[in-house]
Amino acid sequence: MSAPHLPKVAGIDPEVPVSTQTAAPLREIPAAPGAFIQDRLAGWVSDLTTLHELTERLAATATLDAALNELLHAGAALVGARRGLLVLERAGSTTPSTTLGLGLGPADLGHLETVERSATALGRILDGPPEAADARHGIATPDLLGDQDLDPRHREVATRLEYAASYALPLASEAAGRLGGAVWFYDEPGEPSEKQRHLVGLYARYATEHLARLTELERARADIATVADELLPSRLPRIPGVRLAARHRTGPQGGGDWYDALPLPDHALGLAVGSVGGSGPSAMAAMGRLRASLRAYAVMEGEDPVAVLSDLELLLRLTEPARTATALFAYCEPAARKVVLAGAGHTPPLVLGDRRCEYVETTLSAPLGMLACWEAPSVEFSPAPGETVLLYTDGLLRRTGDAMDRAFARLHSAAASVPKADRHDPAAVTDHVLRAMLPDGLDRSDSTEDVVVLAAHFD
């Protein structure tokens, strides 16, 4: 006879043994596996967005100084620091090193320079071999004052400047090599996280490539400016009865604006300004040839400015038929205070004195090289004692970005606003006019225009 079966209750099989362990109550619902992945992806997207924004801001910088400042600020934001120091120092280069601080004054930088380079993380990055690990990766010092082996002078400076930790990073890439290094300082002991190190490392490699391009660009600009200056007068002549001053600003690509002042027989003076069409080395070379030719013509027949420009136009048409140029030549007799001038498509001079500030009325004429035969009547005027004649190129007007009529009005206003105490100093007049016309700086990198201003003050 078989044993009776226990009845089934609510679908529970009584033959399945019941565990004596009671499971803990479920307090929260576990997250789905996809939520963790979504959080990680959101974090990556946020980091990449931040990195993209910082690199875009860096790429927008057009000068080396602006790029270095942007790099210091962006690096501080990425590693969570408040202050920093950057040294641009290409190994084996004769170019002087550049030092820039963030949140550090000149006195603070002076204190840091008193610490031996080998005693700092930044110094080990700069002086170590490029293949060393420190030269390729950052160096974190999470507790400077707690380091028993810290150089005593370094400890003294860290205490004085109140920083307790640092993170140094090389500015290097495979293509550009090592350009220098940067270090950021923490007010409290600490160090950047692994994610922060990764992001700032990516940013630093991109910044290195950008700095290398800007360094080469600024070197090229310096070479162009040097060549342009060498093509212009090294000094202005001294003629009794007149004092001279000139200012020349070259665009980033180099241009064809020029000026000249040369003594002529019978204590006369020749003044010239001009502009060759185009930019770059070709325009600079043409400018040098044109200026040299005008000097020769001025010595032979300077009393007749029209003849001087006619000869110049003929030379330009025969030797460089595809090029045009503007020019203005003035024959001055300081003792008689007489000026005879002729212009070929050039802007009119401006006369500034205690009683007047006005443009000289010149005849309308075409630039050199545009007509089969150039000729225009000359103009004669007499500057009063104490007046200054201002010659300039149209680059001064074009750099303002205004329409030409407004630029002429702006130049007139700038000249009229020269303080009376400075009106007898031609150098002060030119500097005031340049500051008033170009308040954002004389060497704006985004301008392709050269600027020439030549002032002659008649005693």
Polymer length of the chain: 459
Domain ranges of the chain: 59-224, 234-458
Q: Which residue has the higher pLDDT, 283 or 29?
A: 283
Position 18 scores a pLDDT of 46
Residue 154 backbone phi and psi in degrees, to 5: -65, -40
> Which CATH architecture best describes the domain 234-458?
4-Layer Sandwich (3.60)
Q: What percent of the chain has pLDDT over 70?
A: 86
Shortest CA distance to 334 belongs to which of 258, 273, 234, 264?
264
Position 134 scores a pLDDT of 55
Has residue 12 got a pLDDT over 90? no
Position 22 scores a pLDDT of 54
Structure confidence by residue, pLDDT tens digits, 248-290: 888 767 778 999 999 999 999 999 999 998 777 788 888 889 9
Fold agreement between 59-224 and 234-458 = no
CATH node for 59-224: 3.30.450.40
Has residue 452 got a pLDDT over 70? yes
Position 94 scores a pLDDT of 54
Position 401 scores a pLDDT of 85
Position 260 scores a pLDDT of 95
Structure confidence by residue, pLDDT tens digits, 297-351: 999 988 999 999 999 988 888 888 888 899 999 999 999 999 999 999 899 999 9
Q: The pTM is what?
A: 0.66
Mean pLDDT score of the chain, rounded to an integer?
86
Q: Residue 191 is which amino acid?
A: E
Structure confidence by residue, pLDDT tens digits, 39-62: 777 777 788 888 899 999 999 998
User: Which position has the token pair 């545009």?
Assistant: 370
Cross-strand bridge partners of residue 165: 186
In whole angstroms, give the CA distance from residue 399 to residue 448.
8
* Spatial CB neighbours of 234, under 8 Å, sequence gap ≥ 6: none
Position 37 scores a pLDDT of 76
Q: Which residue has the higher pLDDT, 179 or 24?
A: 179
Instruction: Count how many Cα atoms sit within 13 Å of the Cα of residue 259 in the half-sphere of its side chain.
Output: 27
Has residue 19 got a pLDDT over 50? no
* Spatial CB neighbours of 5, under 8 Å, sequence gap ≥ 6: none
In whole angstroms, give the CA distance from residue 217 to residue 69.
18
